[in-house]
Structures are given as C-alpha cells and as structure tokens.
Amino acid sequence: MEEDFGFVQDVCADLDTGKITSIIVPGGTNKILNFFSSSNDIIIEWEKIKCIGEDLILVEI
C-alpha cells in the first residue's frame, strides 16, 4: 500500500550521539488545520525508514 504523508516537518535527534531518532510528518487530511495544531503529527521512528531518495522517503509502517 502506498500513502503520501507530505513533507517532513521536523526531526528528533539524540543530542548525546548526534543521531536522528525519528522524523515528524503532518497527519490527517486537512493540511491547513495541521499548520495550527501538531496533535495529528505522525512520528516515524528511524528504524522504520528503508530508503531516502532525492524526493521521497520509503518507510515500513
């Protein structure tokens, strides 16, 4: 199954190691409302990322 989550909004990192631990993408279908509220954000753990390309990121969900 293929789904478009939109653009990466933020990343979380372990400040001790400097490694990225997860990425945050907007959740839900209403992108305008997500701009004002982060309650629907989707956090994708780094271990779930399979491939990072020039214009897309493949994740296992």
- At residue 43, the pLDDT reads 92
Strands of 1-61, DSSP E:
10-14, 19-25, 42-45, 49-52, 57-59
pLDDT digits (tens, 9 = 90+) for 20-55: 999 999 876 555 554 555 568 889 999 999 999 988
Rounded-to-integer distance, Cα 3 and Cα 55, Å: 14
Tens digits of residue pLDDT in 10-28: 999 999 999 999 999 987 6
pTM value surpassing 0.85: no
Q: How far apart are CA 22 and CA 45, in angstroms?
A: 4
Coil vs helix vs strand at 23: strand
State phi, psi for 16 to the nearest 5 degrees.
-75, -40
Domain locations in the chain as residue ranges: 10-59
